[in-house]
Structure 1
Amino acid sequence: MIQQIQYFKNLEEFLSSSHQSFQVLDIDLQNNNKQIGNEDVLSLGAGLVKCTNLSNLTLNLQNNQIDDRIEQKYSHIQMHSEYILKLIIFYFILFYFIFFFHYNFLYIFLYIIMYLLSVFIFSFSFYMLYIQIDDKGASCLGYYLGLCTNLSNFTLYLKSSKIGVIGASGLGHGLGKSTSLSNLTLDLCGNKIGNLAVSNLVSGLGKCSNLSNLTLYLYGNQIGDEDISGLGFGLGNYTNLSNLTLGLSGNQIGDVSVSGLVSGLGKCTNLSNLTLDLSANQIYREGLSYLGSGLGNCNNLSNLTLDLCGNQIQTEGLSYLGSGLGNCNNLSNLTLNLQMNKIGAKGVSFLCSGLEKCANLQNLTLYLSYNQIYEKGASDLGSGLRKCTKILNLTLYLDRHLQSSQLLKVKCLKSKRLVALKINY
Structure 2
Amino acid sequence: MSVSQIKFFQINFLIYNFKNCCSILKKKQMIQQKIFFDDLEKFLNSSIQSHQILHIDIQKKGNQIGAIGASDLGSGLGKCTNLTYLQLEFGGNYIGDQGVSSLGFGLEKCTNLQNLTLCLYYNQIGPIGAAGLGCGLGKCSNLQNLTLDLNYNLISSEGASGLGSGIGECSNLLNLALYLYGNKIGATGSSGLAFGIGKCTNLQNLNLNYGENKIGDEGTQGLCSALEKCTNLSNLKLNLLFFLIYFYFVFIPLVFFFFNLNHFFIFKFCFSYQLINLFIKISFFSSFFHSNKLSNQLINSLFFLLYLKSWNQIGGSVIGSCLGQCPNLSNLTLDFSYNQIGDEGASGLGHGLRNCTNLSNLILNLWQKQFICF
Same fold (TM > 0.5): yes
Shift of 1:243: 1.6
> 1:292 and 2:260 equivalent?
no
What secondary structure is seen at the aligned counterpart in 1 of 2:241?
A: coil
- The CA deviation string for residues 15-53 of structure 1, in whole angstroms up to 9 with x for no partner, is 222223322111111253431201101111122223232
Q: Aligned partners of 1:335 and 1:33: how far apart in 2?
A: 37
Q: Say if 2:16 is the partner of 1:16.
A: no
Cα gap change, 1:274 to 1:17, in 2 (>3 Å): same
How far apart in 1 are the matches of 2:273 and 2:366?
A: 31
Shift of 1:153: 0.2
What is the aligned partner in structure 2 of residue 34 from structure 1?
A: 63
When you count strand as a share of all residues, which structure comes out higher?
Answer: 2
Q: Which residue of 2 aligns with 1:372?
A: 339
2:279 equivalent in structure 1: 305
CA offsets 1:275-303 (integer angstroms, 9 cap, x no match): 1112316242357422134346x653332
For 2:85 and 2:359, the matched residues in 1 are separated by 38
| Cα pair 1:253 1:283 within 8 Å, conserved | no
Change (3 A) 1:21 1:169: same
- SS of the equivalent of 2:200 reads coil
Indicate which of 190, 214, 230 corresponds to 2:152. Answer: 190
Counterpart in the other structure of 2:295: none
| AA at the equivalent of 2:155 | I
**Matches of 1:307 and 1:247, distance apart in 2:** 10
Q: CA deviation at 1:143?
A: 0.6
Q: Could you tell me which residue of structure 2 aligns to residue 177 of structure 1? A: 139
Counterpart contact for 2:275–2:326, Cα < 8 Å? no
User: What amino acid is aligned across from residue 41 of structure 2 in structure 1?
Assistant: E
CA apart distance, 1:10: 1.4
Moved more, 255-264 or 392-401: 392-401
Counterpart in 2 of 1:282?
255
1:362 aligns with 330
Rg comparison, structure with higher value: 1
Give, in angstroms, the shift of residue 202 of structure 1: 0.8
Please give the residue correspondences for 1:11-410 in structure 2 after superposition, counting only pairs within 5 Å.
Answer: 11-64=40-93, 132-280=94-242, 282-284=255-257, 285-286=259-260, 288-295=263-270, 300-310=274-284, 333-344=301-312, 347-369=315-337, 371-373=338-340, 387=354, 388-396=356-364
Question: Which amino acid in 2 is paired with 1:367?
Answer: D
When residues 374 and 184 of structure 1 are mapped into structure 2, their CA distance, relative to the original with a 3 A threshold, is: closer
TM superposition shift of 1:12: 1.6
* Contact 1:345/1:380, CA 8 A, preserved across alignment: no
Contact persistence 1:215–1:244 (CA under 8 A): yes
Per the alignment, in what secondary structure is the counterpart of residue 222 of structure 2?
A: helix
SS in 2 for 1:394: strand
Distance change in 2, residues 1:353/1:293 (3 Å): closer
Q: Which runs of 5+ in 2 are unaligned?
A: 1-25, 243-253, 286-299
Q: Is the 8 A contact 1:362 1:392 kept in 2?
A: yes
- 1:61 aligned partner, one-letter code: F
Query: Aligned equivalents of 2:128 and 2:151: distance in 1?
Result: 16
2:147, 2:320 → 1: CA distance? Answer: 34
Does the CA contact (< 8 Å) of 2:75 and 2:102 recur in 1? no
Q: Distance in 2 between matches of 1:301 and 1:179?
A: 26
| Cα offset, 1:227, TM superposition | 1.3
Q: Is the 8 A contact 1:190 1:219 kept in 2?
A: yes
Cα distance, 1:381 vs structure 2: 9.1
In the superposition, relative to structure 1, how do residues 13 and 283 fare at CA in structure 2: closer, same or farther (>3 Å)?
Answer: farther
Partner SS state of residue 310, structure 1: strand
| 2:317–2:346 Cα contact (<8 Å) kept | no
Query: CA–CA distance in 2 between the matches of 1:176 and 1:258?
Result: 24
- Equivalence for 1:97: none
* Partner deviation per Cα, 1:115-141 (whole Å, 9 max, x = no partner): xxxxxxxxxxxxxxxxx1111111110
Mapped to 1, the partners of 2:69 and 2:226 lie a distance apart of 37
Alpha carbon RMSD of aligned pairs, Å?
A: 3.1
Secondary structure at 1:274 match in 2:
strand
Deviation per residue, 1:228-273 (Å, 9 max, x gap): 1212222222122222111001111211221111111111232222
Is contact 2:67-2:96 (8 Å) kept?
yes
Q: CA deviation at 1:368?
A: 2.9
8 Å contact 2:184–2:213 — kept in the other structure? yes
Q: How far has the Cα of 1:353 moved from its partner?
A: 4.5
TM-score, scaled to structure 2: 0.75
